Amino acid sequence: MKRLFFFLFLLLATAVNTAFAAEVTSPNGEVKVVFNLDNTTPTYMVSYRGKAVVKPSRLGYELANAENLLDGFKLAGQETGAFDETWKPVWGESSSIRNHYNELLVHLVQEKTDRHMDIRFRVYDEGMGLRYEFPQEGKLNYFTVKEERTEFAMTGDHTAWWIPGDYDTQEYEYTRSRLSEIRGLLQKAITDNLSQTSFSTTGVQTSLMLKTDDGLYLNLHEAALVDYPAMHLDLDDKSMTFRSWLTPDAQGMKGWLQTPCQSPWRTVMVTDDARKVLASNLILNLNEPCKLADTSWIHPTKYVGVWWEMISGKGDWAYTSQFPSVKLGLTDYAKAQPSGRHSANNANVRRYIDFAADNGFDQVLVEGWNIGWEDWAGNMKEKVFDFLTPYPDFDIKALNNYAHARGVKLMMHHETSSSVMNYEKYMDRAYQLMKDYGYDAVKSGYVGNIIPRGEHHYSQLEINHYLHAVKRAADYHIMVNAHEAVRPTGLCRTYPNLIGNESARGTEYQAFGGTRPGHTAILPFTRLQGGPMDYTPGIFEMDCANGSHCNSTICGQLALYVTMYSPLQMAADFPENYMKHADAFQFIKDVAVDWDKSVYLEAEPQEYITAARKAKGTDNWFVGSVAGMKGRTSAIALDFLDKGRKYEATIYMDGADADYKSRPQSYKIVKRTVTAKTKLKLRAAAGGGYAISIMAK
Amino acid sequence: MKRLFFFLFLLLATAVNTAFAAEVTSPNGEVKVVFNLDNTTPTYMVSYRGKAVVKPSRLGYELANAENLLDGFKLAGQETGAFDETWKPVWGESSSIRNHYNELLVHLVQEKTDRHMDIRFRVYDEGMGLRYEFPQEGKLNYFTVKEERTEFAMTGDHTAWWIPGDYDTQEYEYTRSRLSEIRGLLQKAITDNLSQTSFSTTGVQTSLMLKTDDGLYLNLHEAALVDYPAMHLDLDDKSMTFRSWLTPDAQGMKGWLQTPCQSPWRTVMVTDDARKVLASNLILNLNEPCKLADTSWIHPTKYVGVWWEMISGKGDWAYTSQFPSVKLGLTDYAKAQPSGRHSANNANVRRYIDFAADNGFDQVLVEGWNIGWEDWAGNMKEKVFDFLTPYPDFDIKALNNYAHARGVKLMMHHETSSSVMNYEKYMDRAYQLMKDYGYDAVKSGYVGNIIPRGEHHYSQLEINHYLHAVKRAADYHIMVNAHEAVRPTGLCRTYPNLIGNESARGTEYQAFGGTRPGHTAILPFTRLQGGPMDYTPGIFEMDCANGSHCNSTICGQLALYVTMYSPLQMAADFPENYMKHADAFQFIKDVAVDWDKSVYLEAEPQEYITAARKAKGTDNWFVGSVAGMKGRTSAIALDFLDKGRKYEATIYMDGADADYKSRPQSYKIVKRTVTAKTKLKLRAAAGGGYAISIMAK
């Protein structure tokens, strides 16, 4: 680990500078950020290889019940510095990550009010981050944000891959369009969700992927979202300027801040190579180092689960269909007539435990183990679950004992139904129950509207809740995989027990009517920028009991274990479906979930991604490639392999007649010896892909 | 314990009754309630000895996003019954309580919507309660209340003792006026509070005390407030009709209900004898029996505390005056310069422990023991306290050990600053810390505006929080005394570890500018109807360090230990002030906090209250009498004593020149032998009183 740090401090105390400019460039000199105090208003602009990427854009805040922090500023000083450090993540796409940037910190003071606002820029070779910092000095102590007014002035009518701005969900399909077309396409892009709140006819979410007509790839996002509402982007489609749009609380306020504090980082990535977006660690690097003293208990996990049965319509979370309404403590489950459709029953869970043990999986997720599922969603019910009481046919003690005897663990499930206050009331008991029975990972869920009512999934109070759940879990040595929580912003660096998130449209939508091919070729450019996604791939039987069809080939599913980086990977389908294709299932059994090194071989948003990763602590590599609507013929070189070494490759590829609609189960498996000199030409069908295991001989 | 229960069930299934009347009378026949289905609208009226007390008043609900439940009802059946049971409270004004009522249950169904709404009436000799019940049948499952529309149509322009209606505080002085005068007096009655929200120019709080021109005493309140917002009363001062006015949530909704459920009881007390209001157990009886299996750990408690020092301006809760702003986890107290004014320091706490041990007190409350007090109120700060971390000069282990060695316990203090979500995040850890060190009682506080922001102290979510805190405390065998929480509604019957509440203007206001004499002669008629108040009496030095003057005589303070019934009684003043008047302090040392029997000898709201109570498990009696602005000469007979037995009485009475302003410390102590035949004539000064200990020989 090398580390270099120096600062230049220039105090300009006497001269009142209401016009002032300073600049900072990336280590390689290609990205430049210029800060300007333009007639007392702070602005910045970003260029790449001398060409504007973000035109002059204003910075500041509109406050509630106080003078705004938009103008009237003078320079009180500036600092510049450089930083170069290599750090080792607890888990990740590579075993070490370089954090290398140049920095500019501008100290501003609003003359009339003596309030201080600093702006810090960090410039990397692949982009930049800026954040506001409010020191505990001057007249600013507590303040309430009406709106953050950060602009991102685009240089043209770029192509964007976007989902609708929403205070409560990210579970949308992506639309590719010109910026100028967003307004016309937005309504159509808003598909149903149990909790959703859109706010503008040109509002979109981060991370937002863009491409300019001259071939630059841009990405706008945020990093280190802590004690602050999540940021959306609202487009002024006359000037092609995005403006920050924070998530309000129940009273419409957008942040309750107390100095000293800072905003999350606002990030702009820029490169001429789409693969560099995928390889970037910008978001992780802008987060704080790990705050957990002991991380030995955190481990990447491959798992199966009692889940797809319910999602695909074969079984239920609920134990009975007798109760139109359930009140915990009042409803008597002992007297209930079982529906016969309850998937989380002792016999079925044992079946999954056996399957996991027989095939090398670490854990078995069991959803629907606890009472309350007969009546859990859609009513903003406060006391919806207790996270403590199993259904009569789920013997928590015996099943955990059985799992442990077979060398696997059960994975806990805490669906909160978004009744956050209820979850917090039970959290300590729920985590303690996990420890009592030997669980060390929880999948949590936030389906439906938030309680406290009027708050949103991405309001500050909820942001604080999600992090509280992760930090408190760490006290119990529990890993967290939160679904429907806020989109991640790299906090897994600081709290690596945040092992996963959903926060996007996952595989479940393949059972809710399907997702268009290409979705998994855009997610790594957007959603995955902030951290891993529990995408739950591995569907082999594309036709669901409920009639929905999964728009993918089997090889398209296999590829996801490599292309969708996550330390938490599920094999989501039923054991019996895997057994029908045991040869293809072998890849899921073999593939690693933690890596020493990752190489992106090919990438274009929504079109294709091909990645190669070296399994941690081994000399084995795994390659995955997914294709969108057009399919893709890859020509890849295996030059990432050790020179002069021989490897045994097993190639899982779409059959010649494979088709995500009509012949999704057509695949071919080829074994051959490969070296660093090998070049491969492989065809992925539309909605398909390929996967390769490359074992060192 | 005797128990009698029978029901008559009359099913009127076929005939559609849109006009229908039924009545039910009290066991003694004096109180009569008539229910009427008046052209499909449910109404009720109440009479006392044949005279109307509540004129025909409508019942029903206005709902959000659904058809109202106001009219269109037909009768679906009715049930009548009688109940007579004597139960034993864990602690109380008497060792057994008779619950004796007649009941009418009316089953209504709204024809158009097939929604069921039942109304249950219970009629006691001293009044009645009614509540809405929503069975889990028909079409009603989840519903949201826009407003409850219960009317209380008064028969005239009565005299009322009222405080302003408010969603966040009850800490007001009482105004005595005609109903017609409320509108003109309300603004003046609204004094400053850190959190307050009034809602109407004629809105008042319950319990509301009234007196008719023909000498009837009425009281309107509610019982068993569970999972429902608190009710206020809004007066239509043309028709002299009160209407229920619930506390809204952050979105303006007034209750999220799920069948089966019921409203709290709406109560009307009526009597021609003011003493019967004080003696009534109507509110307790309308609550559910005790739900705690084991109550052996609950015990009435007499305590002193490190508290009045801060309230009266002698010391601070805060450790340092260096920090304008505190962030838990960031602020470094180890480096702080102590202000020298921190009352909760080791030496001072030991002094209080010694004083408690030497004088027979059970516990020592210590406020300001934990970090965060430098910056705790007024900013709606979410993470304000952790309830875990002591100040550097408070050695939690050593002080508890010292207290236990001296035979007393420390009492915990959890000021939440109304950051309810923060408290719930820490609650289990905070309670566990208490058990780790041997605390078994907590005083909690809810100063300032509620977080989740936009919610109110009396919103449904907060009502649920207060009860959660009590129930969870019971799991840890912890007694709760919650300040600034909702006014109590008799829940201490069901959860007797709810050992006290503040929820009114307590003694602290004597140090905040003073409270007018008479306040303690109205509180037992109003605030105390729902449960005991931690009024913290016992001030001997009326002139505070901050310049405020306590408007009471010393004997007026002594009387409160009897007149203000509570199983939790504080001796609030400094040890050194008690030592200056050790002879008067003897009464506080002697007086009991739990009782076999209570007798109210004299009473008139805001004027005077004289009570006699027999100490539990002994033959000793204690008498207290408080007087309002006019003073009072009591003529009392001690005929409650055992016939033929001799007692040694010690009478603590105001001196002849006693005056709550100029000579509050003037008192006289007389000892004499008394019997059941003794009659006493005793003078209480304005703002004064007397106290008598009567020890069996």
Long-range contacts of B94-101 (CB under 8 A, 24+ apart): B94/B595, B94/B596, B94/B597, B94/B598, B95/B595, B95/B596, B95/B597, B95/B616, B97/B281, B97/B284, B97/B285, B98/B281, B99/B281, B99/B285, B100/B27, B100/B124, B100/B125, B101/B26, B101/B27, B101/B285
End-to-end alpha carbon distance in chain A? 31
Residue B17 has pLDDT above 70, yes or no: no
Interchain contact, B452 vs A251, CB within 8 Å = no
Q: Give the chain B residue whose CA is nearest to the CA of A135.
A: B325
Residue A7 has pLDDT above 70, yes or no: no
Quote the percentage of chain B above a pLDDT of 70: 97
B254 to chain A: which residues are within 8 Å by CB? Answer: none
Give me the residues of B, 100-139, that contact A with CB < 8 A. 136
Which residues of B are part of the catalytic machinery? Answer: 508
Pairing of strands A31-38, A41-48: antiparallel
CA–CA distance from B446 to each of A104, A251, B304, B485 (Å)?
44, 21, 21, 6
pLDDT one-digit tens code per residue, B52-95 = 999 999 999 999 999 999 999 999 999 999 999 999 999 999 99
Per-residue pLDDT, A18: 54
Total Cβ atoms within 10 A of residue A188: 9
A419 to chain B: which residues are within 8 Å by CB? Answer: none
On whether the CB atoms of residues B232 and B219 are closer than 8 A, the answer is no
Residues 6+ apart with CB under 8 A from A348: A306, A309, A315
Residue A255 has pLDDT above 70, yes or no: yes
Structure tokens at B93: 């004004």
Average pLDDT over residues A278-297: 98
Average pLDDT over residues B261-281: 98
DSSP for A374-391, please give it. Answer: GG-SSS--SS---SS-B-
Supply the mean pLDDT for chain B: 96
pLDDT one-digit tens code per residue, B559-599 = 999 999 999 999 999 999 999 999 999 999 999 999 999 99
Per-residue pLDDT, A19: 66
Give me the residues of B, 252-311, that contact A with CB < 8 A. 253, 256, 258-260
Structure tokens at B13: 């299934």
Residue B630 has pLDDT above 50, yes or no: yes
pLDDT one-digit tens code per residue, A554-610 = 999 999 999 999 999 999 999 999 999 999 999 999 999 999 999 999 999 999 999
Pairing of strands B73-87, B61-63: unpaired
Query: Looking at per-residue confidence, does B160 or A11 come out higher?
Result: B160
Average pLDDT over residues B358-379: 97
Pairing of strands A41-48, A51-58: antiparallel
Q: 3-class secondary structure for B226-245?
A: CCCCCEEEEEECCCCEEEEE
| Overall CATH class of domain B301-504 | alpha beta
Residues 6+ apart with CB under 8 A from A346: A393, A394, A395, A398, A399
B258 to chain A: which residues are within 8 Å by CB? Answer: 325, 327, 379, 381
On whether the CB atoms of residues B200 and B191 are closer than 8 A, the answer is no
Residue B118: helix, strand or coil by DSSP?
A: strand
Give me the residues of B, 202-261, that contact A with CB < 8 A. 249-251, 253, 256, 258-260
CA–CA distance from A468 to each of A428, A464, A482, A498, B326 (Å)?
11, 6, 12, 11, 19
Residue B478: helix, strand or coil by DSSP?
A: coil
| Nearest-5° Cα angle at A67, A61 to A72 | 75
Per-residue pLDDT, B137: 84
Q: Which residues pair with A663 in a beta bridge?
A: A659
Residue B71 identity (one-letter amino acid) = D
Residues 6+ apart with CB under 8 A from A31: A25, A46, A47, A48, A123, A124, A125, A126, A127, A128, A270
Quote the percentage of chain A above a pLDDT of 90: 96
Per-residue pLDDT, B243: 98
Residue B669 identity (one-letter amino acid) = I
Residue B537: cis peptide before it, omega within 30 degrees of 0: no
Residue A508 designated active-site = yes
Per-residue pLDDT, B20: 81
Per-residue pLDDT, B5: 47
CA–CA distance from A198 to each of A148, A193, A507, A694 (Å)?
18, 11, 23, 46
Most A-contacting residue of B133, B288, B424 (CB-CB within 10 A), to test interface? B424
**ipTM exceeding the 0.85 mark:** yes
Q: Percentages helix, strand, coil for chain B, rounded to the nearest 5?
A: 20, 35, 45
Give me the residues of B, 152-181, that contact A with CB < 8 A. none
**Distance (Å) from the alpha carbon of B259 to chain A's nearest alpha carbon:** 8
A324 to chain B: which residues are within 8 Å by CB? Answer: 136, 141
Query: Is any Cβ of chain A less than 8 angstroms from the Cβ of B469?
Result: no
DSSP letter, residue B371: T
Residue A576 identity (one-letter amino acid) = E
pLDDT one-digit tens code per residue, A128-173 = 999 999 999 889 999 999 999 999 999 999 999 999 999 999 999 9
Per-residue pLDDT, A6: 47
Query: What are the helix and strand counts (H, E) for chain B?
Result: 11, 37
Q: Which residues pair with B84 in a beta bridge?
A: B4, B100
pLDDT one-digit tens code per residue, B306-325 = 999 999 999 999 999 998 88
d(CA A365, CA A345): 13
Residue A407: phi and psi, rounded to 5, are 80, 15
Residue B349 has pLDDT above 80, yes or no: yes
A135 to chain B: which residues are within 8 Å by CB? Answer: none
Residue of B39, B167, B143 whose CA lies nearest to B459: B167
Most A-contacting residue of B383, B418, B428 (CB-CB within 10 A), to test interface? B428
pLDDT one-digit tens code per residue, A428-473 = 999 999 999 999 999 999 999 999 999 999 999 999 999 999 999 9
pLDDT one-digit tens code per residue, A200-238 = 999 999 999 999 999 999 999 999 999 999 999 999 999
Domain boundaries, chain A: 21-286, 301-504
Residues 6+ apart with CB under 8 A from A462: A420, A450, A455, A456, A485, A486
Of A258, A452, A464, the CB nearest to B455: A452
Total Cβ atoms within 10 A of residue B239: 12
In A476-607, where does DSSP find H-type helix?
A: 519-522, 554-563, 575-580, 582-590
Residue bearing tokens 């949590």: A444
CA A591 from chain centre, in angstroms, equals: 21
Q: What region does B693 belong to: left with phi over 0, alpha with psi -120 to 50, or beta? A: beta
Residue B669: helix, strand or coil by DSSP?
A: strand
Residue of B650, B641, B645, B656 whose CA lies nearest to B692: B650
Structure tokens at A123: 């410039």
On whether the CB atoms of residues B146 and B64 are closer than 8 A, the answer is yes
Residue bearing tokens 């109110």: B456
Query: Is any Cβ of chain B less than 8 angstroms from the Cβ of A463?
Result: no
Residue of A512, A510, A504 whose CA lies nearest to A661: A510
Query: Is any Cβ of chain A less than 8 angstroms from the Cβ of B421?
Result: yes
Interchain contact, A424 vs B429, CB within 8 Å = no
Residue A461: phi and psi, rounded to 5, are -60, -40
**Distance (Å) from the alpha carbon of A303 to chain B's nearest alpha carbon:** 30
Residue A11 has pLDDT above 60, yes or no: no
d(CA B222, CA B231): 7
d(CA B170, CA B176): 16
In this complex, how many residue pairs, one in chain A and one in chain B, have their CB atoms less than 8 Å apart?
94
Average pLDDT over residues B371-386: 96
Per-residue pLDDT, B138: 80
Residue B353 identity (one-letter amino acid) = I
Interchain contact, A421 vs B425, CB within 8 Å = no
Residue B334: helix, strand or coil by DSSP?
A: helix
Residue B276: helix, strand or coil by DSSP?
A: helix
CA–CA distance from B27 to each of B104, B454, B631 (Å)?
13, 45, 38
Per-residue pLDDT, A324: 81
**pLDDT tier at B180 (50, 70, 90 boundaries)?**
very high
Helices A460-475, A420-437: inter-axial angle, 10-degree rounding:
10
DSSP letter, residue B659: B
Most B-contacting residue of A424, A470, A475 (CB-CB within 10 A), to test interface? A424
d(CA A492, CA A502): 13
Residue A466: helix, strand or coil by DSSP?
A: helix
Residue B198: cis peptide before it, omega within 30 degrees of 0: no
A250 to chain B: which residues are within 8 Å by CB? Answer: 250-251, 452-455
Residue of A145, A172, A300 whose CA lies nearest to A228: A145
Residue A69: helix, strand or coil by DSSP?
A: strand
Task: State which fold the B21-286 domain adopts.
Answer: Beta-galactosidase; Chain A, domain 5 (2.70.98)
Give me the residues of B, 325-344, that contact A with CB < 8 A. 325, 327, 330
Residue A10 has pLDDT above 50, yes or no: no
DSSP for B62-89, please give it. Answer: EESSS--BSS-EEEEEEEEEEEEEEE--
Interchain contact, A260 vs B142, CB within 8 Å = no
d(CA A509, CA B485): 45
Q: Give the chain B residue whose CA is nearest to the CA of A450.
A: B452
Residue B605: phi and psi, rounded to 5, are -50, 130
Edge to edge, the sheet with strand B667-674 lists: B595-604, B608-615, B621-627, B689-696, B647-654, B667-674
CB burial of residue A428 (10 Å; 0-12, 13-18, 19+): buried
